[in-house]
Structure formats: structure tokens, C-alpha cells
Amino acid sequence: LQKELLKYKQEARNLQGIKDALQQRLIQQDAAVLQLKQELLRANMDKEELHNQNADLQRKVDERNRLLAEYKKELCQKDRHLQQHQSKLDEMLRQLSEASYQQVGSGWAALGTAQGGSVGSDSSAPPAQVDLERELEHKEALLAHCMKREAEE
């Protein structure tokens, strides 16, 4: 009977050792699970932060795209205005040139008949040239005035 008792005590000690080892292993696994939960929590927080940063960046890209579209629209409008002003300027210069040629022609003819000479004589060139230069300055001033008014509009 005593042998059986010793045998059962030995078996109880073996079972207690197994129980202690299993409890130690359970503690280690609980610690590993806790560590994994912490890592998962950190990863989820990082993921959320990256998601927020991505959303912010997307909003910035959308805003910049909107501004870019506005700038392109404004640029196209300015290009159209510039083309309109350029064509008006070209037309004004053409008209000014025509008027200048007409006035120069009539001025030379009047000068030639007033002096009794021909239109292209050397003796009448300097006064006529001075008159033409004055007229050109006057027309340049008129053109500058028109350009200024056009720019203000």
C-alpha cells in the first residue's frame, strides 16, 4: 500500500510539474497575445493617421486643381481680351496710317501750290518735314491716349 501511495505521490508531483509548466506557458502566451494586441493597436492608429493624411492631401490636390482650372479660365479670357485689343490696335494703326498718308499727301500738295513749286522740291522739304514730325508726335500722343483708355476699360 505504501508503494502505491508513493507511486500516486510521484504521479501527483509529475502532474503538478506539468500543471506548473502549462501555467508558465499560458502566461507566456498571454504576454505574447498582449504584445500582439498592442502592435495591432499601434498599426491601426498608424493606418488611421495615414488615412487622415491621405484625405488632407487629396483635399489639397482637389483645391489646387480647382485653382488651376480657374487660372486657366482667366488666362483664356485674358488671351481673348488681348487678341481683341490687338485687333483694335491694328485697326487704329491702319486708320492712323491712312489718315497720315492722306494728310501728308494733301499737305505736300498744299505746300507745293502755296510756294509755287513742285511737291517734291528740295526747298520745301525741311518745313514740311517739321510739320510731319509735329503731326506724327500728335498722332502718337493720340494713340497713347487711346491705348490708355482701352487699358482702363
149 is a domain residue: no
Report long-range pairs for 31-34 (Cβ below 8 Å, ≥24 apart): none
Structural domain including 13 reads 1-75
6 is a domain residue: yes
Contact 97/135 with Cβ under 8 angstroms?
no
55 is a domain residue: yes
What's the one-letter identity of residue 50? L
The structural domain count of the chain equals: 1
pLDDT tens-digit readout, 12-48:
999 999 999 999 999 999 999 999 999 999 999 999 9
Residue 140, C-alpha cell as written in the block: 502718337
Backbone torsions φ then ψ of 121, nearest 5 degrees: -70, 145
Q: Residue 20: how many CB atoms within 10 A of its CB?
A: 10
26 is a domain residue: yes
41 is a domain residue: yes
148 is a domain residue: no
1 is a domain residue: yes
pLDDT tens-digit readout, 66-119:
999 999 999 999 999 999 988 888 888 888 878 777 766 665 555 454 444 444
